[in-house]
Amino acid sequence: MWQQLWRQAERDPRRLLARLGLDEAAARLSEEAAAQFITRVPQGFINRMRRGDLNDPLLRQVLPVTDELAVVPGFSLDAVGDGAARKATGVIQKYQGRALLVTTGSCAVHCRYCFRRHFDYAGENAARGNWAEAVASIANDPSIDEVILSGGDPLSLLTSKLAELTDLLAQIPHIRRLRIHTRLPVVLPERVDAELLDWLRALPWPVSLVIHANHANEFDASVFEAMNALRSTGITLLNEAVLLAGVNDSVDALCALSETSFAAGVLPYYLFQLDRVQGTAHFEVSDERAAQLIAGVRARLSGYLVPRLAREIAGEASKRPL
């Protein structure tokens, strides 16, 4: 069922624009940008975009435009130092106690600001060889107490493939928490099916699932339903957003995002400053402006609805609070 919806994702930016009643030239569409990182947008996500609005905050996240071709100093191919933090094939460790698995390169949506848009997924993929190398590297390091499933998007994998991994991890006594970072419940909420819920319920650790939504409009009835179903398994739901110019860089947009997330049962976790990845400079918001925005949010909302504003700096011991 969800696999079929996955396959029906829009891959042609011209058709995406036509469907929204938008003009190609005005959209500053770029073939070259589209060739560097192909377009992929699930139909259900397109349904949440406003027709006839080139500035739609959801469209802006996924449309390949000429701005991406700008070569801007400071914007590189591996902005967050993933290469240097590699512990084994598909295993990245930057922080105390936490090992991150790049479980797959696949994702249901291609966000233009993706910090792994240049990542070598063919080579760096923990699922290769039935997880053996990744699991061995975690088993051999008793300081790891939390395993983070990342990607790509880990929920791109079949639930049976994920269960294969968690069955192996369950044999490692020093693991105490599992975390899943995924945008699928937002962009393809049908992925939250009975099989996935059964898997989550049966996991032997406390689980947190960190979704990724940047704008309140990303939540429609189908997303609320998926979040409710996920919550019914007893896991903790958090949201990570990225501060993006032209998408959510206003106090109103950020407040609406926090309030809507919470209404769906999801607590705000991080609001990240953009990782400085080549092709994404047009999304950047200055640190000064970011600090003003978060102060504006703090002045309006309950404390638990204010996300931690932070930036990742390669080589540091944690994400850096701003």
Ligand X SMILES: *Cc1c(COP(=O)(O)O)cnc(C)c1O
Q: Which is nearer to ligand X, 90 or 279 (CB)?
A: 90
Strands 177-181 and 207-212: parallel
Q: Is the dihedral of CA 193, 195, 199, 201 positive or negative?
A: positive
Alpha helix (H) ranges present in 172-278?
Answer: 184-187, 194-202, 221-231, 251-263
Residue closer to ligand X (CB basis): 9 or 242: 242
- The least CB distance from residue 111 to ligand X, in Å, is 16
Least distance in Å: CB of 211 to ligand X?
13
Q: Measured from the CB atom, is 39 or 208 closer to ligand X?
A: 208
Alpha carbons 48 and 64: distance in angstroms, whole number:
18
- The minimum distance between CB 185 and ligand X, in angstroms, equals 18
Alpha-carbon separation of residue 291 from 253, 257, 264, 272, 297 (angstroms): 15, 17, 26, 12, 10
Closest approach of Cβ 85 to ligand X, in Å? Answer: 6
Cα separation, 155 vs 192, in Å, equals: 9
Is 114 assigned to a binding site?
A: yes
Minimum CB distance to ligand X smaller for 190 or for 240: 240
**Which residue, 270 or 283, is less far from ligand X as judged by CB?**
270
Q: Which CB, 39 or 214, lies closer to ligand X?
A: 214
**Is 255 annotated for ligand binding?**
no
321: β partners: 310
Contact 11, 38 (CB under 8 A): yes
> Which is nearer to ligand X, 22 or 238 (by Cβ)?
238
Residues lying near ligand X in the complex (CB under 6 A) are found at: 92, 94-95, 98, 100, 148, 318-319
CB of 264 to ligand X, least distance (A): 20
Mode of pairing for the β-strands spanning 207-212 and 236-242:
parallel
Residues 6+ apart with CB under 8 A from 206: 176, 177, 178, 235, 236
Its sign, for the CA torsion 301, 302, 304, 309, is: positive
Least spacing, CB of residue 318 vs ligand X, in Å: 6
Least spacing, CB of residue 250 vs ligand X, in Å: 25
CA distances, 94 to each of 22, 58, 86, 296, 316 (Å)? 43, 31, 9, 31, 8
User: What are residue 278's DSSP bridge partners?
Assistant: none
Distance, in Å, from the CA atom of 234 to the CA atom of 307, rounded to the nearest integer, reads 22
Binding residues for [4Fe-4S] cluster: 107, 111, 114
Binding residues: 107, 111, 114
